[in-house]
Each structure stands twice: as structure tokens, then as C-alpha cells.
Amino acid sequence: MPAPVLDFWFDFASTYSYLAAMRIGPLAERADVRVRFRPFLLGPIFKAQGWTTSPFNLYPAKGRNMWRDLERSCADLQLAFRRPDPFPQNSLLAARVALAGLDQTWGEGFCRALFCAEFADGCRIDDAAAIGNILAKLKIDSEPALAAAQSDDIKTRLRAQTDEAQRLGLFGAPSFTTADGELFWGNDRLEPALRWATGAPISTAAEPS
């Protein structure tokens, strides 16, 4: 039997997507679930909700707590953390490069490296030079990678991926979707999403004792 599939939806600008991207590999392997990395853009989805920037900027108390929570969570997970400036970073080019890489063998490694550059090292990720540096460290030839990323094919596919995210009801990142139509939102839902994907029995609702 083929391994069950879980779609992992993320935006490179999203803080908790960093945590999910760093955690998902080993957890999925242990659960015997095949993960598909699906970069998309939150911008159009936020815009449809009337937001012009991250809700963490729009709601300062929520934003302050998010940064502190991220700091605590990274310490727990032994992940480095440095806040990028500005926040959110423009993730358009990074998402296009990731899509190009996912057609080849280096997509997932690039995604992790990109997230680390942004949230572990606090670097900008919004231009070709920054992304070229990340590719160079991964020993990937940056010229063809960036050319593929700027092709009409990739541009169209990234738009289609974002449209699909919206159709699936996504409203934030990271999110996880299963073949049978479940949507799980947030890094905290990674484990339940993997459990669901494997069809592990979910207890039936019962009266609390």
C-alpha cells in the first residue's frame, strides 16, 4: 500500500511555518506519511479578509505575544531564532524558487535553508542576491534556478497553488490538508494532521467522566 499523503502549505513569510518546516521531516518519516511541500502566498488571502499586512502587525498585543512565543518555542526545539526586519518579508521570489526546486531534487532542502536564513539568521529573503546566497550554500547553480523561478510556467503555477489554497479554505499558515478533505491550521496541528492522515483511530465523542 502506498504511504498516505499530507499536503504541507506554507508561506515563507510565516513565522510558525518555520517551526513546521523544521519539524515535519522526521515526524512524517516516523508516521510513514509522504509529505508534499506546497508553498503559496498568504497575501491575496489576507487581502480577501481585509488585511493589508500580517495580523501580527495589525494587532500589536497578538504580535508581541507571537514573537515571545516563537522565542520560547525555538528554545524548546533547540532552533536558533532571530527576528527578520522588516516583517513580514516579501516571499514571492522565494516561493517561486521553491516551486522550481520541488520539480527537481533540492526543493525541500531549499525550503528549510530559506526558513533558517530568515528566522534563524534574521536575513532578508526578498531579492535575488539573498536567495542566490542560500542556493550557493546548498551548492545549487543559482542562475538556472532563478531563471526557472521567473518562468511563466512557475509564475502561473504559484498563482494556481494560491488559488487552490483559498478554495481549500486556508486562511493562515502553516496548514495541512489530507486526501479526505480535512484542514488543520497551525504548527500545533502538525501531529494531529499526521495522525489523521494515517487513519489512526480517533476516539468517538463521549461524556466527560
Question: For a second copy, which is the closer residue by CB, 76 or 143?
Answer: 76
CB 68 to a second copy: min, Å = 7
Three-state SS for 190? helix
Question: For a second copy, which is the closer residue by CB, 2 or 208?
Answer: 208
Interface with a second copy (CB under 8 A), residue from 12, 98, 184, 197: 184
User: Is residue 124 within 8 Å of residue 89, measured between CB atoms?
Assistant: yes
Question: For a second copy, which is the closer residue by CB, 84 or 93?
Answer: 84
Sign of the CA dihedral with 42 first, then 45, 50, and 55 last: negative
Is residue 192 part of the contact set for a second copy (CB under 8 A)?
A: yes
Interface with a second copy (CB under 8 A), residue from 3, 27, 79, 128: 79
Is residue 30 part of the contact set for a second copy (CB under 8 A)?
A: no
User: Is residue 174 within 8 Å of residue 4, measured between CB atoms?
Assistant: no
Question: For a second copy, which is the closer residue by CB, 2 or 26?
Answer: 26
Is residue 52 part of the contact set for a second copy (CB under 8 A)?
A: no
Is residue 92 part of the contact set for a second copy (CB under 8 A)?
A: no
- Helix %, strand %, coil % for the chain, to 5? 55, 10, 35
Is residue 163 part of the contact set for a second copy (CB under 8 A)?
A: no
**Contacts of 10 by beta carbon, 8 Å cutoff, 6+ apart:** 17, 20, 21, 37, 38, 39, 40, 111, 173, 174, 175
Q: Please give the grid coordinates belonging to residue 70.
A: 516563537
Is residue 129 part of the contact set for a second copy (CB under 8 A)?
A: no
Which residues partner with 185 through β-bridges? Answer: 175
Is residue 188 part of the contact set for a second copy (CB under 8 A)?
A: yes
Is residue 81 part of the contact set for a second copy (CB under 8 A)?
A: yes
Is residue 172 part of the contact set for a second copy (CB under 8 A)?
A: yes
Helix locations, 32-168, DSSP H? 42-48, 55-58, 60-77, 92-103, 107-115, 128-137, 142-149, 152-167
- State the residues that interact with a second copy by CB under 8 A: 22, 49, 59, 61-62, 64-65, 68-69, 71-76, 78-81, 116, 120, 169-172, 182-186, 188-189, 192, 196, 202-208
